[in-house]
Amino acid sequence: MKAKESKHIYLKFFTLIIICGFLGGLAGFLLNYPGFDIVDSVQLLQNNILAYGLYISSAGSVVLMLITALFYLSAKNTYRQLETNDSDALYEKADHLCDTGIIFGNITLIFTFAFYGINVSGIHNNSSTSLLWALAAFLLPVIFCVIFQILFVNLTKKMNPEKQGNPLDLNFKKIWMNSNDEAEKFILYKAAYKTFQIMQMAFLIVMVLLMFAALTTPIGAFPFMIIGILWGLQSTLCCIFSMNLQKSKKIDSDDC
């Protein structure tokens, strides 16, 4: 039985190597295909993003904020129904709406920070109007995200009175985590480990794509350094925390 499993593992591994080699060869062929200039295509895309970054960020932030607000209103409306009708289905629906709304709030925040950097990079004339527009397109969504994070947390605390913590408190995550029951902590731990695995693969894929891009485009060393630092930091910290937990045997420590 073990021999069969071993053969199956080897077969899967070499099959994956062959597929990756084929995809790498295909990518190399496309990059050198006559008439296809990836450098010009990437440069054109970058120039358009820099030129219209203020419009893209403004429109994108409005859409994301609207989606976040709609999820909050839906969750709040479902909670009101829950007050008069104690139903597990309504509770799960309200909880799911809160979680999804928080996800869109986080996406809004990341989108805002990313495009603020792009907008600042794209403003070459340093006009006060453009700078103020870029600053407003950054500050308003950030303030919105902070407000709605508080609203989502307060709504979650109403549905779960055992929850504790204030989003404006610097120790909010620690306090919130301590107020979770064992099942919720277990779910968070599994989700964190799954995220770690996916991010390890994501770093690898991005690094390989950068290697292919470097064959035809002078992208420099900075992108490799950033990805390498983040990749190494994630892997190293995971190993350090794991060793510390094994040494102390404090799986339920507040610092987890």
Looking from the CA of 72 toward its CB, the CA atoms found within 13 Å total: 21
pLDDT in tens, 183-223: 888 888 888 889 989 999 899 888 888 887 777 677 778 88
pLDDT, tens digit, 9 for 90 and up, residues 105-138: 999 999 999 988 888 877 765 566 678 888 888 9
Q: Which two tokens stand for residue 180?
A: 């979770």
118 touches 57 (CB < 8 A): yes
- Closest alpha carbon to 235 in 188, 203, 191, 206: 203
Q: Positive or negative CA dihedral for 59, 62, 65, 66?
A: negative
The answer to whether the CB of 39 falls within 8 A of the CB of 212 is no
Q: Is the pLDDT of residue 156 over 70?
A: yes
Supply the Cα-derived Rg of the chain in whole angstroms: 24
Query: Can you read off the two tokens belonging to residue 5?
Result: 């499993």
Give the tokens for residue 43: 């440069």
pLDDT value of position 152 = 92
**Residue 146 pLDDT grade (very low, low, confident, very high; cuts 50, 70, 90):** very high
Residue 1: is its pLDDT beyond 50? no
* Rounded-to-integer distance, Cα 171 and Cα 181, Å: 18
The CA–CA distances, whole Å, from 130 to 41, 118, 126 equal 27, 13, 7
